[in-house]
């Protein structure tokens, strides 16, 4: 059997992500596990079998790169790797993206720690800038329909509005261990208290306890469906298989949208209305797409220690780990490319 590569899974990854090469005749030789060439860098395979090889994406790889196996002449497959957008962060939820494509990230810090910086911003194509200070344990970020950024604090149960100059103003308090946020088109805000409550705050109204869910050991992560009819929530516990919940906006009814996650984290919907979720399970962290009718979520990108995801106006995904973030072109979360030259 002639050794050959036929594909890889997933088709996109960031540094530390686990990727599986598919083919035939790929088993390890007597000298050990094969060497994988990823662009100009090389890594040892983590696992080898006749039809599968697994490896981790090395640091320093960006963009579309050829992947080949040493000693396997004439075959390459192509992997889209994230372009580093920011470092020096402390994310515990998804970033937020403004209408002009500027991305906003937190430096949350240890519980009770007053970090010198609360929020950073990164203009599209630009570098990290200090944006806002003075919020203890800045946790989740969300824009309201007017384009105003809001930030929650898991430390003191407050939500702050942040103006375009980075000045902060307290808007709501007494929201428990305040984590995820999402705004509806009419300005209604939904806030997750990881102790087990989703609050609803009508425009110019006061917070009300809306829906109860199991308490989380980490955080509540929220995303609103583009149609405005549902709120999606992830709330990791100590269970071995975790769901993502769908909350009906009209009735508050709770249904299970997806199961089988190890530690579901940040959520976001793309422009087509598809829901994406980060699973931060150790050793298998990645970005999954969840579509109606799918038997199970689809892994579309892998990474190490991922916590959140957002989409910019161009459709690109911004994938965040706790300390850094990458941009992935939306188009590359689809078809693969193969080079037989």
Interatomic CA distance for residues 194 and 185, integer angstroms: 24
The β-bridge partners of 160 are 151, 170
Sign of the four-CA dihedral 298, 300, 306, 312:
negative
What pLDDT is recorded for position 29? 62
CATH 1.10.3720.10 fits 84-327, yes or no: no
Cβ neighbours, 10 Å, residue 253: 11
The 10s digit of each residue's pLDDT in 287-336 is 999 987 666 889 999 999 999 999 999 999 999 999 999 999 987 764 33
Q: Which residues contact 133 (CB under 8 A, 6 or more apart)?
A: 116, 117, 118, 166
What pLDDT is recorded for position 330? 82
- Lookup result for tokens 């102790």: 195
CATH 2.60.40.10 fits 4-81, yes or no: yes
Closest CA to 94 of 142, 163, 147, 145: 142
- 265, 277 contact by CB (below 8 A): yes
Interatomic CA distance for residues 189 and 191, integer angstroms: 7
* pLDDT per residue of the chain (341 residues) written in tens, 0 to 9: 566 888 999 999 999 999 999 988 786 665 678 899 999 999 999 988 889 999 999 999 999 999 999 887 667 899 999 999 999 999 999 999 999 999 999 999 999 888 999 999 999 889 999 999 999 999 999 999 999 999 999 999 999 999 999 999 999 999 999 999 999 999 999 999 999 999 999 998 899 999 999 999 999 999 999 999 999 999 999 888 889 999 999 999 999 987 789 899 999 999 888 899 999 886 779 999 998 766 688 999 999 999 999 999 999 999 999 999 999 998 776 433 333 32
Report DSSP state, residue 90: B
Report DSSP state, residue 32: B
Q: How far is CA 50 from CA 73, 317, 331, in A?
A: 17, 34, 31
What pLDDT is recorded for position 207? 96
- 181, 219 contact by CB (below 8 A): no
Interatomic CA distance for residues 231 and 257, integer angstroms: 11
**Domain extents for the chain?**
4-81, 84-327
Q: How far is CA 281 from CA 47, 269, 304, 307, in A?
A: 19, 21, 9, 10
Interatomic CA distance for residues 299 and 131, integer angstroms: 33
Q: Which residues contact 32 (CB under 8 A, 6 or more apart)?
A: 44
Closest CA to 141 of 232, 222, 204: 222
Interatomic CA distance for residues 18 and 286, integer angstroms: 9
What pLDDT is recorded for position 3? 66
Half-sphere exposure of 14 (CA within 13 A, CB side): 23
- Helix, strand, coil in percent for the chain, rounding step 5: 0, 50, 50
pTM for the whole thing?
0.93
Phi then psi for 4, rounded to 5 degrees? -160, 150
């Amino acid at each position: 059997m002639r050794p050959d590569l036929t594909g890889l899974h997933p088709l996109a990854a960031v540094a530390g992500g686990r990727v599986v090469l598919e083919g035939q005749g790929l088993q390890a030789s007597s000298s050990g596990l094969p060497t994988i060439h990823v662009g100009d860098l090389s890594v040892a395979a983590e696992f080898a079998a006749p039809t599968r090889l697994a490896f981790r994406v090395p640091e320093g790889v960006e963009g579309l790169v050829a992947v080949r196996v040493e000693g396997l002449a004439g075959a390459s497959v192509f992997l889209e790797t994230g372009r580093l957008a920011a470092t020096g962060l402390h994310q515990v939820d998804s970033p937020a993206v403004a209408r002009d494509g500027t991305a906003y990230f937190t430096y949350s810090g240890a519980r009770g720690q007053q970090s010198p910086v609360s929020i950073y911003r990164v203009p599209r194509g630009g570098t990290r800038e200090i944006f806002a200070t003075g919020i203890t344990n800045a946790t989740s970020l969300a824009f309201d329909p007017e384009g105003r950024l809001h930030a929650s604090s898991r430390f003191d149960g407050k939500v702050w509005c942040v103006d375009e100059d980075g000045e902060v103003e307290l808007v709501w308090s007494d929201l428990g261990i305040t984590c995820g946020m999402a705004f509806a088109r009419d300005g209604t805000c939904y806030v997750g208290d990881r102790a087990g409550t989703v609050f609803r705050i009508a425009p110019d109204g006061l917070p009300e306890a809306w829906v109860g869910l199991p308490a989380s050991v980490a955080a509540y992560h929220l995303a609103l469906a583009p149609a405005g009819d549902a709120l999606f929530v992830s709330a990791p516990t100590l269970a071995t298989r975790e769901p993502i919940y769908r909350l009906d906006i009209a009735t508050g009814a709770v249904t299970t949208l997806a199961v089988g996650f190890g530690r579901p984290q940040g959520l976001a919907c793309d422009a087509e209305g598809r829901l994406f979720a980060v699973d931060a399970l150790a050793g298998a962290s990645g970005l999954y797409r969840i579509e109606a009718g799918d038997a199970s979520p689809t892994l579309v990108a892998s990474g190490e220690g991922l916590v959140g995801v957002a989409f910019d106006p161009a459709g690109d995904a911004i994938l965040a780990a706790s300390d850094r973030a990458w941009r992935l072109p939306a188009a590359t979360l689809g078809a693969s490319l193969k080079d037989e030259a």
